Structure 1
């Protein structure tokens, strides 16, 4: 917790104290806990090479499993999932996290499950599975919202912002980033190793929107309450558009075609390749679709398009 708050001196002192205590016991769980704690410290604030953390976390996990320490297993699996993801080893990350999801489901647990889903969402995005990532992150936010803890929600909003930027949804990315930044100042930063993704998201948004528009969207997100930030992230429909207005006839033929491709799980880049147009043109159509249907996310477009009768598509 000290590292999350940026108090690295206190965090370092705690790790050193644990190291001294570990020399005074034969309990095998204590060296495992020390290795685990050092890895978490590196991930949250101290920085470090994920390659060097994997062996420690794998050792800790094996020890926890042999001792039946379920809560520590879950924490270690989350940290290991992050390390694998940062190394680009998506399959290994998702495998270690699947077991964590099984454990939380069996126990009816919420907080750890939210962290696992966040990590799984990041891993899926890094592995090119954007829609799977969005689903994981949306469920993570819903679970985290039950306890109204901004620390639990901050990282999920930020990851959704990075995905939105990758999909050329620059304004949505800026709003989500602003909300995540504001909550982060209140609750603490999730991990220093993720900062490059935050910087790339901002740079991409400023290139697309320009500084003034980006800053306005960022401020809009920062001014949101926790409730409004969660609603925006989950894509609650605009109150200005009724369900009756969301008929297929509201869209042009090209917009409906793109909506169907969104429902197939294609990214803006993949849609552009399919239709032989630029990604910016695709994103323009998607923005029009969002406005006409009163939606705020691609996920809503996908659900809507999948529910339409096949003979309405042109």
Structure 2
């Protein structure tokens, strides 16, 4: 948990030794569930660092591990993170990953998680040059987020809508992605 919080607080240097220790202990003790989580967090750290190739590889590995041992909730979070890495890396498989995220949320009736799936799907639509579809998805995400008082998620959606609007007027997709990488 300390590693996760340090990453969210923007301190990857402090998180790195703890993450490596966690990974080593999980391997040494053969705890497949915790090892899947350690691999996932390594992927998340790479995602936050803007190393989308490493993030994709690690998150694919973690997703496979979570699914093999039946950790459906952790598998969805990993799938969502993998979809983000794919979208930010212009991966041609990003749309399929986004569709899987939305589909799982619809099937399992998970409106709050669906809001995140719609957010990343909207970013993917924008990446593909479909700003109207992107705005529609992100606006729908805001409705779900508002119903769950997810103020941080609403802010993410508003930021994405601003990027899309700026892009349609005069900017390129690379500018907002450079902003993402700077964090």
**TM-score (ref. length: structure 1):** 0.50
Match runs of 1:68-79 below 5 Å: 68-79=70-81
Aligned residues: 173
Match of 1:285 in 2: none
Aligned-residue CA RMSD (Å): 2.4
> 1:61 maps to what in 2?
63
Which residue of structure 2 aligns with residue 256 of structure 1?
none
Render the CA deviation track for 1:17-75: whole Å, top value 9, x for unaligned. Answer: 4224313422323332212101112223xx14211221111111112222221111111
Tell me which stretches of 4 or more aligned residues in structure 1 moved more than 4 Å. none
- Residue of structure 2 equivalent to 1:167: 168
Contact in 2 for aligned 1:101/1:113 (Cα 8 Å):
yes
Query: What CA distance in whole angstroms lies between the structure 1 residues aligned with 2:58 and 2:180?
Result: 27
3-state SS in 1 of match to 2:163: helix
| Alignment CA distance shift 1:122-1:27 (3 Å) | same
Contact in 2 for aligned 1:158/1:198 (Cα 8 Å) = no
Unaligned runs of 5+ in 1: 171-193, 200-314
Larger helix share, 1 or 2: 2
Instruction: Could you tell me which runs of 5 or more consecutive residues in structure 2 were left unpaired when the two chains were aligned.
Output: none
Equivalent-residue separation in structure 1 for 2:112 and 2:44 (angstroms): 17
Query: Which structure has the larger Rg over C-alpha atoms?
Result: 1
| Partner Cα separation in structure 1 for residue 31 and residue 66 of structure 2 | 12
Equivalent of 2:178 in 172, 193, 196: 196
Select the residue among 84, 87, 111 that pairs with 2:86: 84
